[in-house]
Structure 1
Amino acid sequence: MTPAQLSTTPGQQGHSAELRRAAQRIGSGVDRRRFLTVTGAAAALAFAVNLPGAGTAAAAELDARKITEDPFTLGVASGDPQPDSVLLWTRLAPRPYEADGGLPAERVEVRWEIARDSRFRWIVRRGTSTAHPEFGHAVHVDARGLDSDRTFYYRFRAGSWISPTGRTRTAPSAWARNSSLTLAAVSCQAYHDGYYTAYRHLADEDVDVVFHLGDYLYEYAVTAVGGVRNYTDRVLPDHFNRETLTLEDYRMRYGLYKSDPDLRAAHAAHPFVVTWDDHETENNYAGDTPENSVPPEEFLLRRAAAYRAYWENQPLRAPQLPTGPDMRLYRRLKFGRLAQFDILDTRQYRSNQAYGDGWKVPGPESEDPSRTMTGAAQERWLIDGWKASDALWNVVPQQVTFSQRRDVPTDAYKLSMDSWDGYSASRQRIMDGAEAAGVDNLMVLTGDVHVGYAFDIKKDFDDPASRTLGTEIVATSITSGKDGADKPASWDNQTTANPHMKFYNGRRGYVKVSLGRNEARADFRTVSAVTTPGAPVSTAGSFVTEAGNPGLNPA
């Protein structure tokens, strides 16, 4: 389904023209304070009607032949591979640092092609899609009718302009007894903290799919010289040197991030499966509770803007299109009989952090059985999906550290209230559900914490001799935290306090995981620096876990 096919419900069509004008005002940054203070909940609904088909579809069509600057500055991407389809993405933005991307508020017809070969001699599918100004001229093509488990190449055309070529891959058929799958996991890419060198190396890796586990962008200000990148050959516009609040702000911030050539190279090389954490909206928000004391309606408007910009700028299908401040991001992908991936959203539905957030001594508040990390509906969806799974490996890509993580090896330890440690009853329900469903090979993929970890998931984390239920692989950041260190300051305390922690490294990079029928292998790939470009990549540690015998051992 293309954006042009997305229609509104009768209830949405019944919203007043005033609400439509309000949505347009926040999109253009006009009258921000007035918009944020009027009838917040109702105004947020305006995002649902500011779509093609709700009074704005009659926008004029721009003749693509009149586009005089390269509109494909943000590159191309693909995502969410299925056996017969893959989602293809681009966004037209001749001037990505400007609010309108350098295009008028007119729709543009974009042609796309997908082929078996990189020279496009064997084209298997082609078509046209409309880049609507209401979606920031983003293009989402659900390319269907493809052969399973194959590599394809794709590109877009607008007028005389041709996009870079992307490479993607479909998933194996649902009944395939495929014997191998290699994935990479990445997270946390603060632009102002360094260069995306790890992405350049990842583009050259032989992987089938990349899972992005959150913090694709950061809401924080970026200085004129790009933070620690310290540019001497360019000056970034002043509007980046403020925190993101509006749809316009978030769109331009994606323009900045996606203008990075190393990030574009990784997207062009591999299909991505994305999920967010907090910084795509605001640091450490929880459900509808913001980090700071602002009116709830103001935060929900900000969340609506952030969610919409996220969908516009990621390779996501139409079912993920947000409605106001709500977006169904959790979803399931299968790669034959080898692996099932249950992608979680641990931000949108969680209870507020206990004890005011941070590292705190656990107690009745954090251990309250009513607290949830996922919300009840997502929790049921996850456990029901395990019950129906016929996959050898059940993998859960999600955001925050799942395993227990004490800060010191004494009885006076503290736990992170933002991680699953702050939602211990919710975690226990998930582990009990995995056991009841007979999940033998559980693997959790995690981001967020800017370090690489490897954990055994224990039935009772307080008893090292208790049964191991699965493994957790934590991908370090791409840049967040700057260069890092092989042994962070907390290394001694955490490795001693947590005997189920098998690995801890604080450099930047990514993790590569190879799933096979007999075992899974995790290679922690790190770079020596991100504050200067061009650092080499190396393997900081490698671990394996046997199928049917959970627990990590050095490779």
Structure 2
Amino acid sequence: MTETTDSVSPAAARPRRRRVLKAAALTAGAAVLPIAAGTAPATAATAPQFLHGVASGDPLADGVVLWTRVTPTPDAVPGSGAGPATDVVWQIATDKSFTSVRASGTVTTAAATDHTVKVDVRGLTADTVYWYRFTAGGVSSPVGRTRTAPAADAALDRLRLGVASCANWEAGYFSAYRHLAARGDLDVFLFLGDYIYEYKTGEFCAAGKVVRPHDPAHEITTLADYRTRHGRYKTDPDLQGLHAIVPTVAIWDDHEFANDAWSGGAENHTPGTEGDWSARMAAAKQAYFEWMPVRPSIAGTTYRRLRYGKLADLHLLDLRSFRSQQVKVGSGDVDSADRTMTGRAQLDWLKSGLSASDTTWRLIGNEVMISPVAFLSLPDYLLRPIAKLLGLPGEGLAINPDQWDGYTHDRRELLGHLKNNGIGNTVFLTGDIHSAWAADVPSEAATYPASGSVATEFVVTSVSSDNIDDFLKVAPQTLSLVAAAAIQAANRHIKWVDLDSHGYGVLDITPQAVQMDYYILSDRTRRDATTKWTRSYRTRTGTQQVERVWSPVK
């Protein structure tokens, strides 16, 4: 790859008026509509095309990852292994018309990387909006917009993240992404896992309706399968629109591999018919890093750390690559020191990073819920669908062993580190369980609130994956309200739970508070679904507690 980089003038003051940023988002959105198949220039029917959009991610103060995928010939579809090596030129500029190009280069991509292109651009200016594009064979990609992170010592007044998880293609449309993109006020899109799902068509649609079928139709197990599934997701216009307007920060969870994955296998993996687990996981990881605007970090995992001035640092976890196998419910092994959620190296890395942090807030991108949850008080007719949603036995369910509840030794060590070292303002940001929660994270749940809280947690619901009402096949906010009330009664640190809604969160961070605004969709099965605000919770600096707020941040 060849590359040229020019100096960039210092960034102007961060624009924070929503109408200014929304205007920028709308003008960018006009340029990110995907090129439909079969619309290559008439003069070259087989000219390269950019059918899967563009994206940026992992912004640093001096750089950002740029991503696209080129289809050099009609047969070079994702996962096919077909198509010639192709030179792709990339450019990044400080204006949308590209009169002030600040860096450029050429990447040669081929079937070996599924014709994906990923460039880690450095030498940029902190806290600056950039525009980028790709060109191959005289054809240009859609234009994307991104922004570098603030300088490490910058005093920020605000940071705003769109937050989502659990997007099942078959279960509904990705309207949540469209509504996030339309806001125009986001600095980062944070995705907390289950970007794709591995199941075969129809296997994970409890409501009984396949809204749009997977490709491939069978369960994905090979490198070609995972590439094809990622490629199908990247054709969604709402997904493309969000990726093209704001940088993405993403971590994986289990469905990027297989349900309830652990280091040596998964609940949804049968070695006798689906091959070696290590080969399947390696294939899934390769496809993920090819298709996502994510900078591979330590040992090719997704755990890494990003910084946003003096306001916040973001610790991103990988809770699938190193964890021990989930225990059987009631086995008594959840407390064993021989079992781990994080692996020793990652837990030490997290603890040292939290200790060394000099920012106001410490955010942790966390795949599975860390707040303890007991389910014993639920009546049987509600216990069974919740157990089904979590992939657990329906009888005698007390905990979810796939969450931190099943790895209490690691949790006790991490929370004890926060408490014993006086590390405050720690906020866990979580996905996975297709429901929305706001909770204090107690050091000792049995004696809460007397024993206090050492952190807080905001859990976002699913973009489209099935929730409790979908499993029960009832109207939302009916039977689930009984379950939510029982959960809160048995778990006093949990301040709110919504078991039914699909949607997303908007996290607003200031020196004074971190607030999560929860938004829900009208109907996941409709491409034109509307959105509305439903609840907000915040934690104020120094409190380690969540409290309800009666309006979203403007």
* Secondary structure of 1:204 counterpart: helix
Answer yes or no: is the 8 Å Cα contact 2:76–2:83 preserved in 1: no
Q: Distance in 1 between matches of 2:210 and 2:527?
A: 9
Instruction: Verify: 1:241 aligned to 2:214, yes or no.
Output: no
Quote the residue 1:288 is aligned against: 264
Residue of 483, 486, 489 corresponding to 1:493: 486
- 1:536 matched to 2:514: no
CA contact (8 A) 2:363 2:429 kept: yes
Whether 1:461 aligns to 2:445 is: yes
Structure-2 separation of matches of 1:538 and 1:141: 37
8 Å CA contact 2:75–2:83 kept in 1: the answer is no
* Match of residue 107, structure 1, among 70, 85, 106: 85
Is 1:389–2:373 an aligned residue pair? no
Please say if 1:377 is aligned against 2:371. no
Query: Is the contact made by 1:89 and 1:315 (CA closer than 8 Å) also made in structure 2?
Result: yes
| C-alpha displacement of 1:266 | 1.0
Does structure 1 residue 124 correspond to structure 2 residue 118?
no
Structure 1 residue corresponding to 2:248, chosen from 251, 269, 272: 272
1:340 aligns to what? Answer: 313
* TM-score (norm: length of structure 2): 0.81
Cα deviation code 1:389-418 (max 9, x no counterpart): 101100100101110111133897600011
2:436 to 452, 456, 459: 452
Comparing 151-160 with 286-295, greater Cα deviation is found at 286-295
- Counterpart CA distance in 1 for 2:121 and 2:96 is 17
Residue 407 of structure 1 is matched in structure 2 by 375
Once residues 511 and 410 of structure 1 are traced to their aligned partners in structure 2, the CA distance between those partners, rounded to angstroms, is 27
Residues 203, 523 of structure 1: alpha-carbon distance in 2 compared, 3 angstrom cutoff: same
Cα separation, partners in 2 of 1:94 and 1:220, compared to 1, 3 Å: farther
Which of 505-514 and 410-419 deviates more?
410-419
2: CA distance, partners of 1:511 / 1:97 = 39
Query: Residue type matched to 1:348 in 2?
Result: S
Please state if 1:202 is matched with 2:195.
Answer: no
Instruction: For 2:252, give the aligned amino acid.
Output: W
> Which structure 2 residues correspond to residues 15-94 of structure 1 after superposition, within 5 A?
68-69=46-47, 71-93=49-71
Whole-Å Cα distance in 1 between the matches of residues 55 and 294 of structure 2?
10
C-alpha distance after superposition, 1:175-195 (max 9, x if no partner): 112121111211111100001
* Cα distance in structure 2, aligned partners of 1:106 and 1:98: 8
Structure 1's unaligned 5+ residue stretches are 3-64, 321-325
Q: Is the 1:73–1:96 Cα contact (8 Å) retained in structure 2?
A: no
Q: What corresponds to 1:192 in structure 2?
A: 170
Structure 2 Cα separation of the partners of residues 413 and 464 of structure 1: 22
User: What pairs with 1:469-508 in structure 2 (closer than 5 Å)?
Assistant: 469-481=454-466, 485-486=476-477, 488=480, 490-505=483-498, 506-508=500-502
Over 3 Å counting, the alpha-carbon distance change for 1:470 and 1:158 in structure 2 is: same
1:222 aligns with 2:190: no
Contact 1:91 1:138 in 2 (8 A): yes
Q: State the Cα distance separating 1:103 from its structure 2 match.
A: 7.9
Give the 3 Å change call, closer, same or farther, for CA 122–197 of structure 1 in structure 2: same
Q: Which amino acid aligns with 1:278?
A: D
- 1:430-465 deviations in Å (ceiling 9; x for gaps): 111222343210000111000111111111111222
Residue number in structure 2 paired with 1:431: 415
- In structure 1, the partner of 2:155 is 177
For the residue of structure 2 that corresponds to 1:269, the secondary structure is coil
C-alpha spacing 1:229/1:264, structure 2 compared with 1 (3 Å):
farther
Structure 2 distance, partners of 1:161, 1:229, is 35
Aligned AA (1:501) = I
Deviations 1:254-298 (A, max 9, x none): 111111111111111111111111111111121112324416971
Task: Answer whether contact 1:383 1:437 (CA < 8 A) is retained.
Answer: no
Determine if the alignment matches structure 1 residue 398 to structure 2 residue 366.
yes
Match of 1:141 among 119, 134, 155: 119
Listed one character per residue, the Cα deviations across residues 151-210 of structure 1 (whole Å, up to 9, x for unaligned) are 211111111211111111111111112121111211111100001111110111211001
Amino acid at match of 1:500: H
SS at structure 1 position matched to 2:447: coil
Query: How many Å separate the matches in 2 of 1:222 and 1:95?
Result: 28
Q: Is the contact between residue 440 and residue 470 of structure 1 (CA under 8 Å) also seen in structure 2?
A: yes
The offset of 1:105, in angstroms, is: 4.2
- Aligned residue type for 2:492: P
| Structure 1 pair 156–223 and aligned structure 2 pair: CA distance change class (3 A) | farther
Q: Secondary structure at the match of 2:238?
A: helix
Aligned equivalents of 1:101 and 1:286: distance in 2? 25
2:408 corresponds to 1:419: no
How far apart are the structure 2 equivalents of 1:262 and 1:191? 12
Gaps of 5+ in 2: 3-42, 380-395, 471-475, 550-554
Q: 2:135: which partner in 1?
A: 157
Deviation at 1:120, TM superposition (A): 2.2
User: For the aligned residues, what is the CA RMSD?
Assistant: 2.6
Residue by residue over 1:86-108, the C-alpha shift from the partner in whole angstroms, topping out at 9 and shown as x without a partner, is: 00001113689965567844321
CA contact (8 A) 1:410 1:497 kept: no
Residues in 2 aligned to 1:97 and 1:530: alpha-carbon distance in whole angstroms: 32
Distance in 2 between the 1:282 and 1:463 partners?
Answer: 36
Q: Cα–Cα, structure 1 residues 383 and 230, in superposed 2: closer, same or farther, change >3 Å?
A: closer
8 A contact 1:400–1:419 mirrored in 2 = yes
Determine what percentage of the aligned residue pairs are the same residue: 37
SS at match of 2:240: helix
1:426 shift after superposition? 0.9
* Residues 142/504 of structure 1: CA separation in 2 closer, same or farther (3 Å cut): same
SS of the counterpart of 1:415? coil
Letter in 1 for 2:517: D
Contact 1:97/1:256, CA 8 A, preserved across alignment: no
Separation in structure 1 between the aligned mates of residue 249 and residue 483 of structure 2, nearest angstrom: 31
Take 1:101 and 1:350, find their aligned partners in 2: how far apart are those partners? 29
Question: C-alpha distance in 1, partners of 2:211/2:305?
Answer: 41
SS of the residue corresponding to residue 540 of structure 1 reads strand
Report the residue type matching 1:337 in the other structure. K
Shift of 1:370: 2.1
Mapped to 2, the partners of 1:97 and 1:507 lie a distance apart of 40
Q: Are the counterparts in 1 of residues 61 and 149 from structure 2 also a CA contact under 8 Å?
A: yes
Deviations 1:50-85 (A, max 9, x none): xxxxxxxxxxxxxxx977255211101110000000
Residue type of the partner of 1:401?
Answer: M
The TM-score with structure 1 as length reference comes to 0.81
| CA–CA separation in structure 2 for the residues paired with 1:369 and 1:402 | 17
